Chain A
Amino acid sequence: MAAIATLKDLYETLSPGLPGAGAAGLDRLRADGYARFLADGIPTPKVEGWKYTNLRDLAGVSLAPAQGTIDSAANTDLDLPSVAPGETHRLVFVDGVFNAALSAVGTLPAGVTLDSLRGLIESSPATAAEVLERFPAPKADTGLRVGPNPGRGQALGLVGLNGAFLAEGAVLTVGEGVTLAQPVEIVFIATAADGAWHPRLLIDVAAGATVTVAEHHVARGGGATFANIVSGVRVGEGAVLRHAKFQEEDDAALHLASVTATVAASGTYETFVLTTGGRLARTDVQVRLEGSGASTRVSGAYGVDGSRHADFTSLIDHVAANCTSREVVKGVIDGKGRAVFQGKIIVRPDAQKTDGHQLNRALLLSDTAEIDAKPELEIYADDVKCSHGATAGELDEEALFYLRARGIPADTARALLIAAFLDEVAEEIGDDRLRGYAIARIQDRIGRLTGITVDATDLAVEE
Chain B
Amino acid sequence: MLEIRNLHATVDGKEILKGINLTINPGEVHAIMGPNGSGKSTLSYVLSGRDGYEVTEGSVTFQGKDLLAMEAEERAAEGVFLAFQYPVEIPGVSNTTFLKTALNAVRKHKGLPELDAMQFLKLIRAKAKALNMNDDMIKRAVNVGFSGGEKKRNDILQMAMLEPSFAILDETDSGLDIDALKLVADGVNSLRSAERSMLVITHYQRLLSYIVPDHVHVLAYGKIVRSGGKELALELEAKGYAEFGSPEAA
Chain A residues in contact with chain B, CB under 8 A?
396-399, 401-410, 412-413, 416-417, 419-421, 423-424, 455-461
Minimum Cβ distance to chain B for residue A446 (Å): 13
Which of B15-23, B48-56, B189-197, B215-223 forms contacts with chain A? B48-56
List the A side residues contacting B139 at CB < 8 Å.
458-459, 461
Interface string of B90-116 (1 = CB under 8 A from A): 111110111111110110010000000
List the B side residues contacting A419 at CB < 8 Å.
92-93
B129 within 8 A of A: no
Q: With A402-B90, A405-B49 in contact, do A416 and B76 touch (Cβ < 8 Å)? A: no
10 A-B residue pairings within 8 Å (CB atoms): A401-B88, A403-B102, A405-B73, A407-B76, A408-B73, A408-B102, A408-B105, A416-B97, A416-B98, A419-B92
A420 to B91, CA, bound (A): 7
User: Out of A397, A410, A417, A461, which one reaches B93, CB within 8 Å?
Assistant: A417
A347 to B90, CA, bound (A): 36
Q: With A399-B88, A403-B98, A403-B102 in contact, do A420 and B121 touch (Cβ < 8 Å)? A: no
Chain B, 65-82, CB within 8 A of any chain A CB: 71-73, 76-77, 81-82
Interface string of B129-161 (1 = CB under 8 A from A): 000000100110110000000000000001000
A406 x B96 contact (CB < 8 A): no
A401 x B50 contact (CB < 8 A): yes
List the A side residues contacting B73 at CB < 8 Å.
404-405, 407-410, 413
Minimum Cβ distance to chain B for residue A426 (Å): 10
B87 within 8 A of A: yes
A461 x B138 contact (CB < 8 A): yes
Minimum Cβ distance to chain A for residue B155 (Å): 10
Majority DSSP secondary structure for residues of B touching A: helix
B33 within 8 A of A: no
A405 x B48 contact (CB < 8 A): yes
Which B-chain residue is minimally distant from A415 (CB atoms)? B101
A-B contacts at CB below 8 angstroms, number? 104
B90 x A399 contact (CB < 8 A): yes
The 10 closest A-B pairs by CB, nearest first: A420-B92, A407-B76, A406-B102, A402-B88, A407-B106, A404-B72, A459-B96, A404-B73, A420-B93, A461-B135
A459 x B101 contact (CB < 8 A): no
Minimum Cβ distance to chain A for residue B42 (Å): 14
A416 to B91, CA, bound (A): 11
Chain B, 15-49, CB within 8 A of any chain A CB: 48-49
List the A side residues contacting B71 at CB < 8 Å.
404, 410
B204 within 8 A of A: no
B84 within 8 A of A: yes
B244 within 8 A of A: no
List the A side residues contacting B125 at CB < 8 Å.
461
B100 x A408 contact (CB < 8 A): no
A423 to B125, CA, bound (A): 25
Q: With A402-B88, A408-B73 in contact, do A459 and B121 touch (Cβ < 8 Å)? A: yes
A409 to B89, CA, bound (A): 19
User: Out of A397, A407, A459, which one reaches B102, CB within 8 Å?
Assistant: A407
List the B side residues contacting A405 at CB < 8 Å.
48-50, 72-73, 76, 81-82, 84
Minimum Cβ distance to chain A for residue B146 (Å): 13
A176 to B122, CA, bound (A): 49
B162 x A459 contact (CB < 8 A): no
Q: With A405-B82, A406-B162, A412-B105 in contact, do A459 and B100 touch (Cβ < 8 Å)? A: yes
B94 x A458 contact (CB < 8 A): yes
A272 to B89, CA, bound (A): 27
A407 to B48, CA, bound (A): 11
List the B side residues contacting A420 at CB < 8 Å.
90-93, 141
Minimum Cβ distance to chain A for residue B84 (Å): 7
A461 x B97 contact (CB < 8 A): no
Which A-chain residue is minimally distant from B128 (CB atoms)? A461
Q: With A399-B88, A401-B51, A402-B88 in contact, do A408 and B94 touch (Cβ < 8 Å)? A: no
B93 x A459 contact (CB < 8 A): no
A8 to B92, CA, bound (A): 52
B210 within 8 A of A: no
A46 to B192, CA, bound (A): 69
B126 within 8 A of A: no
Which B-chain residue is minimally distant from A402 (CB atoms)? B88
B234 within 8 A of A: no
